[in-house]
């Protein structure tokens, strides 16, 4: 087993890595995947955007920036139309035919739109993924485009102060999760609906559209209590919303709820209205997420059937969020009795404010992995957390889950089947090809999502594994009735491996492993394969397979965020999961071995207290929090590292001579190309320091390698936020939908097209201002939706 690198060598490599990363960002953001390489090599600098003396590496597909933006805006409408998720559609309440969707319809449906937030949709979140300073399409724009007439009296009422003050603004960036306020939902109290407003319903009774909105943002999490009711959390209906739904369901025969939320919403209210004892019903529920600047334009076509719903959830929708394992240990969990502002203490006795501890006791069992696994393993009757006793896993699942992961309805129907399986599971180099056919068995054209899951062999008490895991997925093109599409999935053995961080199975190995046994692949309409699977196929592995090295890179697979044996008290926060050196079990994480006994519990004050932080007294220039601070007090000491500013002239200059390598020579070069080392050798110590210290939303100019100053933007919805200079520098770019809405399209090609359009925006840059292109993009963003209450869920796909 490899020894840990020394502290000194780790710090040196950290600095070198930071320098190389800063250089790489001007050459490639993502070589493959979501962002097309068109963005990767746009070099900026204080020069006109069109410089005929420098040959362009990539050229725009458009003649002007306006054309590029128009294409992006149109693409965003397509993303929204495929990302909106039809969650409920009772008695075919949708679609509602309009003259725009059916030539046989001559009268426009007249609808009433309810909700204070209907006139102020949540387009996106706040922070680096936020939306500001853009002219956006509204819900009403979308309804008009789709051939609907809406109630103007009701709209005017919501636009005025007569309907109340509206929702709270998002907390300012930097507020910090420990001080995030309780947010006012801002829905109009029933007492404010006057006779004129209520009478206006009569002329617009073809349908009621009820809008429910919730915020999200960087640096703060969603409150787990409402401003006016501590017994309810922010992701539930408040009393004003219940009163509004009571009013609407008692007066309208077709009630459509639109969830304009940036994270899953607790939808237990549906069952409260749709039961045998209640004559008031909700007929349809549509989730629209944060649609960006133009996405709302798709709402009318979604409701009238021009767009056949094909979105799928990228989270599971639990019936009661307070029963989720993450509820127990979520939020700032600031240190108890450890100083002002949740301070912890350094070894030298000084304090560091704002130190928080959150215990991820649920382990791998987040989202659908918990609910699907617990339902499958349920051997009831068992009572947990004062729940009722259930006789079966299916009964438990029905009472705890409303909508599975990967769930969504359509205006047509599909069938799916596995048509062939090639290859087998034999060793670490095994590869399988699975082909799946989808057939449109309904009467309307539409797109289908093909979801491939796997159930792995599990041995009780050994490596933790969820019962079902998503392996891959595909989106079909538009399929006419009775037409079909075949998707091909390529699967490597490594894709199915589970990580054993602490040698749970006692075979003397830590790393990725395949246990021998049956690997069953399911094609399913969603994650609940026990109820929705179309077809399955099983491959059997005869012997265990160990991956000591990553098959892609050849590097050793080791625990990288703790000591390799995961048994060092230096990582004090980790021992909530493991045995300490003395053999004492502090706390264990949740385990499939016994969900009931290992279910997370809130940490006590004693458990949350931390008195020291090992090693935190060692400070370096990299600790500076100021953006682009070129005059920091702490500096990196010159340790006498050799090969500072070493020029090697081995590049053909095109004139019969030789010259030194420049950044432009490495356009398209892979990360491990040896020429990167040659390029780094050319940098002086001062250039390295400047590149690191002056690198927020830009990368500094380096004359020695002909690297220009760049504009770099932070935020996954495009070049629209967090850039150097004035706000005007990023006007004229497409403001895309939130990543969670891109995720719910389940369409890899649409995500690729979004990345390509962002690259187009990068080429044109600030063409109407300082002429700089946009060279770097701190995106796309990738993180887990650990809890529905995470403030930045909207910035991540799933």
| DSSP line for 273-330 | HSSTT-S----EEEE----TTTGGGGHHHHHHTSS------SS-EES-GGGSGGGGG-
Per-residue model confidence as pLDDT tens digits over 504-526: 999 999 999 999 999 999 999 99
Per-residue model confidence as pLDDT tens digits over 588-634: 688 999 888 889 888 777 666 655 555 444 444 444 455 665 554 44
Mean pLDDT of 123-137: 78
Determine the pLDDT at residue 335.
Answer: 58
- Does position 12 have pLDDT exceeding 80, yes or no? no
Mean pLDDT of 721-729: 62
Reduce the DSSP state of residue 411 to 3 states and report it: coil
Q: Two tokens at 545? A: 């397979």
Look at 194 and 2; give whichever has higher pLDDT: 194
- Does position 430 have pLDDT exceeding 80, yes or no? yes
Determine the pLDDT at residue 218.
Answer: 86
Please name the helix (run of DSSP H) or strand (run of DSSP E) that holds residue 688, with its range, or none: helix 685-693
- Cβ atoms of 315 and 366 within 8 Å: the answer is no
- Cβ atoms of 577 and 540 within 8 Å: the answer is no
DSSP 8-class letter at 253:
S
Determine the pLDDT at residue 351.
Answer: 62
Q: Two tokens at 193? A: 């609906």
- Does position 580 have pLDDT exceeding 50, yes or no? no
- Reported as a pLDDT band with limits 50, 70 and 90, residue 98 is very high
- Cβ atoms of 735 and 721 within 8 Å: the answer is no
Determine the pLDDT at residue 428.
Answer: 93
Mean pLDDT of 90-96: 96
- Cβ atoms of 451 and 470 within 8 Å: the answer is yes
Pairing of strands 149-150, 110-114: parallel
- Does position 385 have pLDDT exceeding 90, yes or no? no
Mean pLDDT of 111-123: 97
Reduce the DSSP state of residue 84 to 3 states and report it: coil
- Cβ atoms of 486 and 436 within 8 Å: the answer is yes
- Does position 305 have pLDDT exceeding 90, yes or no? yes
Determine the pLDDT at residue 380.
Answer: 60
Sheet holding 533-541, edge to edge: 469-475, 449-455, 517-524, 533-541
Determine the pLDDT at residue 443.
Answer: 97
* Interhelix angle 685-693/7-24, nearest 10 degrees: 70
Determine the pLDDT at residue 35.
Answer: 35
Per-residue model confidence as pLDDT tens digits over 452-462: 999 999 999 99
Q: What's the CA gap between 22 and 749, in Å, rounded?
A: 29
Residues 6 or more apart whose Cβ sits within 8 Å of residue 147: 98, 99, 100, 101, 108, 109, 300, 304
Per-residue model confidence as pLDDT tens digits over 748-783: 999 999 999 999 988 888 777 667 778 888 888 889
Q: Which residues pair with 519 in a beta bridge?
A: 539
Q: What's the CA gap between 536 and 451, in Å, rounded?
A: 12
Q: What end-to-end distance do the CA atoms of the chain give, in Å?
A: 35
Determine the pLDDT at residue 287.
Answer: 99
Per-residue model confidence as pLDDT tens digits over 48-91: 444 555 666 778 999 999 999 999 999 999 999 999 999 999 99
Q: What's the CA gap between 264 and 538, in Å, rounded?
A: 33
How distant, in Å, are the alpha carbons of 147, 203, 724 from that of 106? 10, 17, 52
Lowest mean pLDDT among 24-28, 410-414, 491-495, 715-719: 24-28
Residues 6 or more apart whose Cβ sits within 8 Å of residue 104: 97
Q: Supply the pTM of this predicted model.
A: 0.88
- To the nearest 5 percent, what fractions of the chain are helix, strand and coil? 25, 20, 55
Determine the pLDDT at residue 139.
Answer: 98
Look at 660 and 359; give whichever has higher pLDDT: 660
- Reported as a pLDDT band with limits 50, 70 and 90, residue 10 is very low
Mean pLDDT of 250-261: 98
Residues 6 or more apart whose Cβ sits within 8 Å of residue 102: 304, 305
Mean pLDDT of 324-346: 68
Look at 648 and 679; give whichever has higher pLDDT: 679
Look at 380 and 14; give whichever has higher pLDDT: 380
- Does position 274 have pLDDT exceeding 70, yes or no? yes
500: phi then psi, degrees, rounded to nearest 5: -110, 95
Q: What's the CA gap between 19 and 13, in Å, rounded?
A: 10
**Which CATH number does 69-317 carry?**
3.40.50.1700
- Does position 365 have pLDDT exceeding 80, yes or no? yes
Mean pLDDT of 472-498: 98
Per-residue model confidence as pLDDT tens digits over 211-226: 999 999 888 889 888 8
- Reported as a pLDDT band with limits 50, 70 and 90, residue 706 is confident
Determine the pLDDT at residue 641.
Answer: 54
What percent of the chain shows pLDDT beyond 70?
76
Domain ranges in the chain are 8-46+619-795, 69-317, 410-599
Q: What's the CA gap between 357 and 359, in Å, rounded?
A: 7
Mean pLDDT of 234-240: 97
Q: What's the CA gap between 796 and 128, in Å, rounded?
A: 12
Lowest mean pLDDT among 113-122, 316-325, 382-391: 382-391
Q: What's the CA gap between 353 and 647, in Å, rounded?
A: 45
- Reported as a pLDDT band with limits 50, 70 and 90, residue 696 is confident
Determine the pLDDT at residue 762.
Answer: 87
Q: Two tokens at 54? A: 């420098």
Determine the pLDDT at residue 653.
Answer: 72
**Domain 410-599: CATH architecture, name and number where available:** Sandwich (2.60)
Mean pLDDT of 151-179: 81
Determine the pLDDT at residue 742.
Answer: 97
Look at 317 and 585; give whichever has higher pLDDT: 317
Q: Which residues pair with 498 in a beta bridge?
A: 513
Mean pLDDT of 649-656: 78
For the chain, give the number of residues.
798
Mean pLDDT of 342-356: 59
DSSP string, 117-172: GGGS---SBBGGGB--S-----HHHHHHHTT-EE-HHHHHHHHSGGG---PPPPPP
- Reported as a pLDDT band with limits 50, 70 and 90, residue 382 is low
Determine the pLDDT at residue 279.
Answer: 76
- Does position 476 have pLDDT exceeding 60, yes or no? yes
- Does position 302 have pLDDT exceeding 50, yes or no? yes
Mean pLDDT of 181-188: 86
Determine the pLDDT at residue 334.
Answer: 64
- Cβ atoms of 317 and 402 within 8 Å: the answer is yes
CA dihedral sign of residues 176, 179, 185, 186: negative
Among candidates 488, 175, 148, which has minimal Cα distance to 299?
A: 148
Residues 6 or more apart whose Cβ sits within 8 Å of residue 782: 796, 797
Q: What's the CA gap between 534 and 624, in Å, rounded?
A: 55
Q: Which residue has the tokens 């009722």?
A: 388
How distant, in Å, are the alpha carbons of 1, 3, 226, 511 from that of 565? 10, 11, 44, 11
Mean pLDDT of all residues belonging to the chain = 83
């Amino acid at each position: 087993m490899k020894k840990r690198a020394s502290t000194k060598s780790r710090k040196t490599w950290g600095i070198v890595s930071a320098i190389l990363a800063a250089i790489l960002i001007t050459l490639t953001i993502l070589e493959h995947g979501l962002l097309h390489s068109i963005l990767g090599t746009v070099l900026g600098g204080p020069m006109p955007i069109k410089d005929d003396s420098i040959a362009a590496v990539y050229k725009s597909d458009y003649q002007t920036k306006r054309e590029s933006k128009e294409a992006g805006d149109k693409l965003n409408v397509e993303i929204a139309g495929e990302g909106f998720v039809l969650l409920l559609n009772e008695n075919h309440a949708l679609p509602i035919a309009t003259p725009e969707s059916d030539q046989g319809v001559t009268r426009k449906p007249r609808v009433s739109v309810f909700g204070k937030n209907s006139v102020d949709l949540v387009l996106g979140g706040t922070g680096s993924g936020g939306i500001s300073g853009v002219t956006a399409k509204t819900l009403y724009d979308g309804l008009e485009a789709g051939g609907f007439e809406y109630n103007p009296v009701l709209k005017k009422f919501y636009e005025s102060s007569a309907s109340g003050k509206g929702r709270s603004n998002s907390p300012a960036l930097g507020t910090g999760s420990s001080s995030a306020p309780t947010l006012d939902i801002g829905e109009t109290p029933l007492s404010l609906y006057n006779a004129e407003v209520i009478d206006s319903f009569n002329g617009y009774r073809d349908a009621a559209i009820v809008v429910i909105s919730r915020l999200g943002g960087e640096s703060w999490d969603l409150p787990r209590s409402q401003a006016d009711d501590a017994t309810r959390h922010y992701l539930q209906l408040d009393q004003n919303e219940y009163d509004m739904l009571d009013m609407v369901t008692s007066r309208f025969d077709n009630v459509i709820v639109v969830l304009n939320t940036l994270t899953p919403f607790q939808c237990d209210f549906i069952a409260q209205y749709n039961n045998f004892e209640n004559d008031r019903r909700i007929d349809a529920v549509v989730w629209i997420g944060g649609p960006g600047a133009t996405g709302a334009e798709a709402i009318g076509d979604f409701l009238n059937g021009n767009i056949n719903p094909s979105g799928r959830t990228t989270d599971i929708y639990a019936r009661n969020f307070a029963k989720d394992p993450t509820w127990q240990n979520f939020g700032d969990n600031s240190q108890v009795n450890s100083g002002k502002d949740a301070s912890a203490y350094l070894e030298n006795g000084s304090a560091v404010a704002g130190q928080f501890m959150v215990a991820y006791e649920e382990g791998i069992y987040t989202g659908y992995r918990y609910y699907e696994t617990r339902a499958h393993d349920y051997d009831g009757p068992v009572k947990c957390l004062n729940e009722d006793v259930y006789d079966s896993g299916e009964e438990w699942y029905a009472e705890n889950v409303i909508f599975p992961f990967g769930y969504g309805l359509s205006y047509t129907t599909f069938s799916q089947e596995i048509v062939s399986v090639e290859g087998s599971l034999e060793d670490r180099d095994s590869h399988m090809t699975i082909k799946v056919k989808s057939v449109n068995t309904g009467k309307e054209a539409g797109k289908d999502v093909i979801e491939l899951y796997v159930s792995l062999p599990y041995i009780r008490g050994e490596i933790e594994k969820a019962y079902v895991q998503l392996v891959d997925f595909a989106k079909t093109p538009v399929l006419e009735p009775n037409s079909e599409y075949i998707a091909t999935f390529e699967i490597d053995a490594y894709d199915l491996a589970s990580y054993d961080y602490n040698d749970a199975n006692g075979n003397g190995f830590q790393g990725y492993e395949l246990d021998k046994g049956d690997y069953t692949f399911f094609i399913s309409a969603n994650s609940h394969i026990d109820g929705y699977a179309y077809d399955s196929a099983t491959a059997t592995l005869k012997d265990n397979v160990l991956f000591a090295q990553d098959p892609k890179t050849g590097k050793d697979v080791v625990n990288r965020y703790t000591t390799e044996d995961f048994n060092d008290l230096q990582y004090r926060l980790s021992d909530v999961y493991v045995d300490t050196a003395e053999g004492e079990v502090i706390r264990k994480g949740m385990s499939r071995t016994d969900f009931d006994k290992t279910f997370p519990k809130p940490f006590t004050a004693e458990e949350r207290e931390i008195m020291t932080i090992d090693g935190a007294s060692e400070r370096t220039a990299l600790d500076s929090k100021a953006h682009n601070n070129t005059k920091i007090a702490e500096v990196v000491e010159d340790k006498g590292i050799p090969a500072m500013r070493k020029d090697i002239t081995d590049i053909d200059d095109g004139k019969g001579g030789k010259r030194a390598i420049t950044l432009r020579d490495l356009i398209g070069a892979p990360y491990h190309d040896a020429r990167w080392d040659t390029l780094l050798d050319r940098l002086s110590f001062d250039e390295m320091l400047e590149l690191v210290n002056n690198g927020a939303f830009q990368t500094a100019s380096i004359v020695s390698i002909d690297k220009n100053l760049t504009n770099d933007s932070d935020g996954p919805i495009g070049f629209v936020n967090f850039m150097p200079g004035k706000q005007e520098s990023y006007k004229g770019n497409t403001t895309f939908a939130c990543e969670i809405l891109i995720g719910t399209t389940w369409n890899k090609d649409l995500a690729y097209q979004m990345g390509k359009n962002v690259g187009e925006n990068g080429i044109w840059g600030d063409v109407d201002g300082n002429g700089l292109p946009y060279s770097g993009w701190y995106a796309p963003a990738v993180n887990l939706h650990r809890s529905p209450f995470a403030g930045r869920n909207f910035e991540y796909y799933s």
